[in-house]
């Protein structure tokens, strides 16, 4: 049994959210706010979670007629340091080449990137809109509050345990169900609201 970070194995149960669709919605939201140069802070794409989020980002750009620019994708461990490094890279660019939005595959990197940019005088969301992923507590503490994707880690764990118990009790077979996809929700907060009507 795998959850969140899963393995493509027909003899396992995978408990996940639809990371592709969630990332697509985040990117679509940023485009709806008028953003055209959206930077993506990405994790290791050998992991299904980050590969799916990158795919959702790319496809949302494509579907809205925006060109994918590899230079706007930064792959890292999505740590505090990675967020700071992303901010330094943005600040090193001439203003006309800077992104007008950042979509981070987690909240940690997004929050630290925002903090560093704010100290340099970048206005959020007016200059650069931000969105993260995970709905960590820091997303509600940072000012402005961070737009993010919410899904319950508790519910993922609860579902994993319930399915494991059912399997061990012989109530359910792994062969009957390969993937359980749980719900996620885009929570729009002030960090991405460039267009106040949305």
Q: Where are the domains of the chain?
A: 18-151+185-192
Sheet with 2-3, side-by-side order of all strands: 2-3, 14-17, 179-182
pLDDT of residue 157: 67
Could you tell me the pTM of the whole model?
0.86
We find that the CATH architecture of domain 18-151+185-192 is: 3-Layer(aba) Sandwich (3.40)
pLDDT of residue 21: 97
Give the 3-state secondary structure of residue 28. helix
CA distance 159 to 41: 29
Instruction: Say if residue 188's pLDDT is above 80.
Output: yes
pLDDT of residue 160: 65
Dihedral, 121, 94, 57, 16 alpha carbons, nearest 10: -50
CA distance 39 to 47: 20
pLDDT of residue 195: 79
Task: Give the residues across from 182 on adjacent strands.
Answer: 17
Residue with the larger pLDDT of the pair 148 and 198: 148
**CA 169, 173, 175 angle in degrees (round to 5)?**
165
**CA 57, 120, 132 angle in degrees (round to 5)?**
25
Tokens for 90? 């943005």
Instruction: Say if residue 8's pLDDT is above 70.
Output: no
Question: What is the band of 16 on the pLDDT scale with cuts at 50, 70, 90?
Answer: confident
* pLDDT, tens digit, 9 for 90 and up, residues 88-125: 999 999 999 999 999 999 999 999 999 999 999 999 99
Question: What is the band of 17 on the pLDDT scale with cuts at 50, 70, 90?
Answer: confident
Mean pLDDT for 59-64 is 98
């Amino acid at each position: 049994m795998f959850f969140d970070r899963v393995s493509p194995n027909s003899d396992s149960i995978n408990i996940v959210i639809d990371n592709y669709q969630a990332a697509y919605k985040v990117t679509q939201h940023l485009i709806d706010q008028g953003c055209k140069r959206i930077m993506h802070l990405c994790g290791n794409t050998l992991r299904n979670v980050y590969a799916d989020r990158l795919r959702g980002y790319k496809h949302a750009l494509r579907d809205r007629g925006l060109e994918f620019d590899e230079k706007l994708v930064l792959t890292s461990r999505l740590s505090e340091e990675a967020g700071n490094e992303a901010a330094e890279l943005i600040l090193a660019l001439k203003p006309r080449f800077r992104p007008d939005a950042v979509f981070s595959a987690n909240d940690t990197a997004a929050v630290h990137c925002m903090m560093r940019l704010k100290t340099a005088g970048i206005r959020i969301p007016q200059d650069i809109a931000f969105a993260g992923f995970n709905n960590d507590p820091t997303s509600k503490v940072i000012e402005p509050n961070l737009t993010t994707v919410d899904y319950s880690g508790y519910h993922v764990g609860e579902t994993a345990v319930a399915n494991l118990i059912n399997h061990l009790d012989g109530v359910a077979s792994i062969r009957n169900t390969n993937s359980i996809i749980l719900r996620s929700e885009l929570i729009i907060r002030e960090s991405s609201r460039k267009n106040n009507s949305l």
